[in-house]
Amino acid sequence: MGNRAFAVLKKNRTDKCGDEVTGMDGLIPQKLRQLSRSESESRRAVPRHSNWVGSYASLATFVNECQSWLPEERYNKLMDAVDDLGTRSGGISGAVSYDTAHFEGHMDDFNSVMFGPTKSYTFVHRKLLCTDFDCLRVGKNLNMDASTIACAFACPFDLVGKYSIDNAVLVRWIATIASMYLDNPYHSWRHAYDVFQFSYFALSEGAGSRFFNYHDMLALMISAIAHDVGHTGTNNSFLVQTRSPLALTYNDRSPMENMHASVLFETLTKPGLNVLSGLSTDAYTKIRAKMIEAILATDMAHHFEFVDQLTARTSHTSTKPFLLNVKFGGEERENASRADRRMLLTAFLHTADLGHTLRPWDVHKNLVVLLEEEFFLQGDRQRDLEMNIMPMMDRTKDSVASSQAFFLEKLVRPLVEPFTLFLSVDAGIQMLANLEDNAKHWAKLLEKHLSLFQAYVFT
Ligand SMILES: [Zn+2]
């Protein structure tokens, strides 16, 4: 199955770009050579900073991680100082900042927790946790992107240590996956980076990690990176109608998403790329199931069914609350929360996939322009093949832009409202405010220009 998926990927790449493609077998050695040159870069020293600003939740989660290796008395002092900051900031989602005086007497411990060799929090914070993240600013240097993203696996959750992940393998795998994204206007490596950043932000700064164990977080972060790998720039309906090799391979059932998951796991079988080699057979089997489920659920065909499921579950939290701090609660707590965690993993990846709708207008509108162009390109191909064209894919008729306000209110909001219950109050408020602001912008444009406007003209 996997080999066939690669053959299909290679074919589509040739079809779309019209140039010679080396395929997976050619890409990997080429990537390996490039990456071996950049390994030293990925281990570069991380600068120390004397102050830090972020949410209390992420700071507390981060310091909590050092409990296993820091002597108890020193750990307690550190946590007391962090709690003191939390009290002053007014709760779990409040913004805190510290200066060196606050940690006087245990500054060395604090620095080693925050900025130790595998805890390059400042670097990651600056690169990945900025609130105005714009994926159009990344994607120019895949090795650099891979190095940055790899740092996120080390902090604030030490997934690298917990699952014995080799940093060089991780960087190499991310860069390889990045190189397998096609150069589509929207479904490119930049979109994958965007979805990864959103997922990581939601877990750390957004305090979503409270509902997951480490295994779930690893599954989410790996899935986000590869969730659209090899995307052909067309939708499933097009693949089915044109009887494409992907539709034939997967019997018309979410052919695109099935291919993404298949390609992800296929890369792990290649030498030097298995980021999950440190997992036991049992842990690997479980993470594979979680990741496949979450990636397949990114097919919009399942959207309404999933939103109903999430809404129904969140409406019963008074009688059956979601369990918190699962990762510290032992096997019993993990078993009790299993079904909820699986559903939330899907919710986090699916929302992250639509995450650009929750970003500021200046970021969101540019991504809609790219999505619109990708739809138009499919429409152009359908016109050439004398197929029916959906109005929003027909550049002579309508556009994505004219239906954005409806899309944001009727499709995205019903998912985001229950989703934000699992984030810090501040993160949830900000996302919903952005969503509302974006919907208003599109509604205003629609009112002014009626339905015959295209995003690229008016944004
Ligand atoms: Zn996607």
* Tens-place pLDDT, residues 144-170: 888 889 888 987 888 988 999 998 899
Report CA(226)–ligand 1 centroid distance (Å).
9
At 16 the pLDDT is 28
Indicate whether 14 pLDDT > 50. no
Higher pLDDT, 72 or 347: 347
Report CA(110)–ligand 1 centroid distance (Å).
37
At 93 the pLDDT is 58
* Helices and strands (H, E) in the chain, number of each type: 23, 2
At 122 the pLDDT is 60
Please give the share of the chain, as a percent, with pLDDT higher than 90: 52
Residues 6+ apart with CB under 8 A from 452: 397, 398, 402
Report CA(104)–ligand 1 centroid distance (Å).
45
At 83 the pLDDT is 79
Report CA(126)–ligand 1 centroid distance (Å).
24
Local confidence band at 32 (pLDDT 50, 70, 90 cut-offs) = very low
At 228 the pLDDT is 98
At 96 the pLDDT is 64
Q: Are 292 and 253 in contact, with CB atoms under 8 Å apart?
A: no
**Tokens (6 digits) for 75:** 């750990």
Local confidence band at 221 (pLDDT 50, 70, 90 cut-offs) = very high
At 111 the pLDDT is 66
At 229 the pLDDT is 97
Report CA(116)–ligand 1 centroid distance (Å).
33
Q: Are 96 and 429 in contact, with CB atoms under 8 Å apart?
A: no
Q: What is the mean pLDDT of residues 401-408?
A: 85
Higher pLDDT, 14 or 363: 363
CA distances (Å), 135 to each of 54, 71, 308, 357, in order? Answer: 21, 41, 30, 13
Q: What CA–CA distance (Å, rounded) separates 82 from 331?
A: 28
Q: How many CA atoms lie within 13 A of 393 on its CB side?
A: 18
At 294 the pLDDT is 98
Please give the share of the chain, as a percent, with pLDDT higher than 70: 77
Could you list the residues known to form a binding site for Zn(2+), using ranges: 191, 227-228, 353
Q: Domain 2-37+132-353 has what CATH class?
A: mainly alpha
Report CA(421)–ligand 1 centroid distance (Å).
22
Could you list the residues known to form a binding site, using ranges: 187-191, 227-228, 353, 404
- Calculate Rg over the CA atoms of the chain: 22
Report CA(351)–ligand 1 centroid distance (Å).
10
Local confidence band at 87 (pLDDT 50, 70, 90 cut-offs) = confident
Report CA(117)–ligand 1 centroid distance (Å).
32
What average pLDDT is seen over the chain? 81
Task: For the beta carbon of residue 328, count every other beta carbon within 10 angstroms.
Answer: 10
Catalytic, out of 102, 106, 187, 316: 187
Weakest-pLDDT range from 47-51, 304-308, 423-427, 433-437? 47-51
Weakest-pLDDT range from 10-14, 52-56, 208-212, 236-240? 10-14
Report CA(321)–ligand 1 centroid distance (Å).
30
At 180 the pLDDT is 97
Active site includes 260? no
At 11 the pLDDT is 30
Higher pLDDT, 86 or 405: 405
What are 228-244's pLDDT values in tens digits?
999 999 999 999 999 99
Indicate whether 81 pLDDT > 60. yes
Higher pLDDT, 199 or 32: 199
Q: What CA–CA distance (Å, rounded) separates 64 from 78?
A: 9
Higher pLDDT, 129 or 269: 269
Q: What CA–CA distance (Å, rounded) separates 446 from 440?
A: 10
Weakest-pLDDT range from 126-130, 179-183, 285-289, 348-352? 126-130
**Tokens (6 digits) for 127:** 């690169």
Indicate whether 290 pLDDT > 50. yes
Indicate whether 441 pLDDT > 80. yes
The beta-strand segments (E) located in 137-177 are none
At 352 the pLDDT is 98
Report CA(415)–ligand 1 centroid distance (Å).
16
At 50 the pLDDT is 40
Peptide bond into 156 cis (omega under 30): yes
Report CA(284)–ligand 1 centroid distance (Å).
24
The one-letter amino acid code at 52 reads W
Local confidence band at 23 (pLDDT 50, 70, 90 cut-offs) = very low
Could you list the residues known to form a binding site for AMP, using ranges: 187-191, 228, 353, 404
Higher pLDDT, 73 or 39: 73
Indicate whether 215 pLDDT > 80. yes
CATH 1.10.1300.10 maps onto the chain at: 2-37+132-353
Weakest-pLDDT range from 113-122, 358-367, 398-407? 113-122
Residues 6+ apart with CB under 8 A from 159: 153, 165, 214, 217, 218, 221
Q: What is the mean pLDDT of residues 205-214?
A: 91
Report CA(311)–ligand 1 centroid distance (Å).
22
Indicate whether 123 pLDDT > 80. no
Secondary structure, 3-state, 274-343? CCCCCCCHHHHHHHHHHHHHHHHCCCHHHHHHHHHHHHHHHCCCCCCCCCCCHHHCHHHHHHHCHHHHHH
At 329 the pLDDT is 66
At 131 the pLDDT is 73
